[in-house]
């Protein structure tokens, strides 16, 4: 009987330690941002492993934490941007310890907004920044000249980024950014595709430094003449549909999104096995979008 309690109690203790590290992180209304590893939907994969402390006892051995480098890279880039803005960021050690020792350990769970919000609360954060590496694409072309055959490579990366308010669970801002880079290689040497792939991810995310709306959604600051926004609830039937606004993915239903008032937007709702649902609308206070999607087989009848 006692044996059964050993593992749960051990895990509970480790999680409690990780959470205790966050005690005092958030003070009142102070902004504290949790940056999560990105979901990687691209074909580019590269695992890395490093050691994580999961106990307050320095003599206790550390545990190995494995993660896809393409999921990890955006986190470090965004953390640097936020620190330069004077934003307090949850320490990575706290995040990784909790990811390693709890139900949040699977990276696939990080795409779930509800789980991310729960994790943020446990770590004392007020805002979450999470996202997806949607695609990393490599295009090669070759040409010859002066007896030398040269290969030209262009790498592009598309990333989606979301800002979520932990208190309300609202998606305050969602955007897609793209980065590109090109390089040449020949028989005399060149640059590896993986090195360039990480560079284009950085190029894409660096665009957020100059994205006024992104910065405002994060810092909660307003500027004169800023467009007013309203919270629109998307609750289509069935659940777990992909919601796109003006061609950009903003989340999975059910979800509440802040949208500018008096500005028409194009909404597209999709789910495998169902017919896409589209509409152009003007966001208004109290609006709930809850269409019932028809199955694809119904269209064939």
Q: Where are the domains of the chain?
A: 2-226, 228-301
Contact between 169 and 252 under an 8 Å Cβ cutoff? The reply is no
Per-residue pLDDT, 300: 54
CA–CA distance, 69 with 79 (Å, rounded to integer):
15
pLDDT at 129: 96
Mind listing the pLDDT tens digit for each residue in 114-156?
A: 888 888 998 999 999 999 999 999 888 887 766 677 788 889 9
Q: Give me the mean pLDDT over the 84-105 stretch.
A: 79
**Partners of residue 126 on adjacent β-strands:** none
* pLDDT band per the 50, 70, 90 thresholds, residue 230: confident
Q: Note the pLDDT of residue 7.
A: 38
Considering only residues 295 and 262, tell me which one the structure prediction assigns the higher pLDDT.
Answer: 295
Find the mean pLDDT for residues 196-223: 85
Question: What separation in angstroms does the CA of 110 have from each of 104, 106, 241, 287?
Answer: 7, 7, 17, 28
pLDDT at residue 33 tops 90: yes
Give the contacts of 145 (CB within 8 A, at least 6 positions apart).
none
Please give the pLDDT value at position 221: 56
Rounded Cα distance, 50 and 109, in Å: 20
Domains 2-226 and 228-301 share a fold: no
pLDDT at residue 197 in the model: 86
**DSSP letter at 109?**
G
Q: Which has more confidence, 292 or 26?
A: 292
Q: What's the pLDDT band for 2 if we cut at 50, 70, 90?
A: very low
Mean pLDDT of the chain, nearest integer: 80
> Is the pLDDT reported for residue 23 higher than 50?
no
CA pair distance 70, 142, nearest whole angstrom: 27
101 pLDDT higher than 50: yes
Helices marked H in the chain: 2-20, 69-84, 92-101, 113-122, 193-206, 212-219, 296-300
The mean pLDDT of 100-120, rounded to a whole number, is: 69
Residue 68: CB atoms within 10 A of its CB come to 19
- How would residue 74 be classed by pLDDT, with cut points 50, 70 and 90? very high
Q: What is the pLDDT of residue 102?
A: 64
- Residue 126 CA to residue 87 CA, distance in Å, equals 11
Residue 217 has pLDDT above 50, yes or no: yes
Instruction: State residue 8's pLDDT score.
Output: 40
What mean pLDDT comes out for the span 198-227? 81
190 DSSP assignment: -
pTM of the model: 0.67
Cβ–Cβ < 8 Å for 127, 33: yes
CATH 3.40.50.280 for the 228-301 domain, yes or no: no
Close Cβ partners of 169 (under 8 Å, ≥ 6 residues apart): 113, 114, 117, 256
Q: How many CB atoms lie within 10 A of CB 192?
A: 10
Q: Which residue has the higher pLDDT, 278 or 197?
A: 278
Between CA 68 and CA 50 the distance in angstroms is 11
Across 237-241, average pLDDT: 93
Report phi then psi at 113, rounded to 5: -60, -40
For residues 194-217, average pLDDT: 89
CA 238 to CA 290: how far, in whole Å? 10
Highest CATH level, class, for 2-226: alpha beta
Note the pLDDT of residue 219: 86
Count Cβ atoms within 10 A of the Cβ of residue 251 and give its class: 0-12 exposed, 13-18 middle, 19 or more buried: buried
What end-to-end distance do the CA atoms of the chain give, in Å? 59
């Amino acid at each position: 009987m006692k044996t059964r309690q050993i593992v749960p109690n051990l895990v509970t203790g480790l999680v409690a330690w990780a959470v205790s590290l966050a005690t005092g992180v958030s003070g009142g209304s102070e902004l504290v941002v949790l940056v999560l590893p990105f979901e990687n939907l691209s074909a580019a994969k590269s695992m890395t492993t490093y050691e994580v402390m999961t106990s307050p006892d320095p003599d206790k051995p550390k545990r190995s934490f494995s993660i896809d480098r393409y999921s990890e890279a955006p986190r470090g880039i965004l953390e640097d941007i936020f620190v330069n803005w004077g934003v307090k960021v949850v320490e990575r050690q706290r995040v990784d310890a909790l990811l390693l020792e709890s139900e949040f350990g699977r990276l696939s769970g990080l795409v779930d907004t509800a789980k991310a919000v729960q994790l943020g609360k446990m770590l004392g954060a007020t805002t979450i920044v999470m996202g997806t590496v949607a695609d990393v694409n490599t295009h090669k072309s070759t040409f010859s000249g002066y007896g030398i055959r040269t290969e030209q490579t262009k790498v592009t990366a598309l990333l989606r980024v979301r800002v979520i308010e932990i208190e309300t669970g609202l998606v305050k801002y969602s955007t897609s950014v793209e980065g590109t880079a090109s390089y040449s290689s020949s028989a005399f040497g060149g640059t590896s595709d993986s090195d360039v792939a990480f560079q284009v991810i950085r190029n894409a995310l660096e665009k957020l430094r100059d994205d006024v709306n992104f910065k405002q959604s994060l810092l909660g600051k307003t500027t004169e003449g800023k467009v007013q926004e309203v919270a629109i609830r998307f609750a289509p039937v069935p659940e777990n549909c992909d919601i796109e606004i003006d061609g950009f993915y903003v989340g999975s239903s059910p979800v509440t999104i802040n949208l500018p008032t008096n500005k028409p937007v194009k909404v597209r709702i999709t789910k495998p096995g169902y017919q896409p649902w589209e509409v152009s609308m003007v966001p208004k206070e109290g609006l709930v979008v809850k269409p019932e999607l028809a199955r694809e087989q119904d269209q064939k009848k």
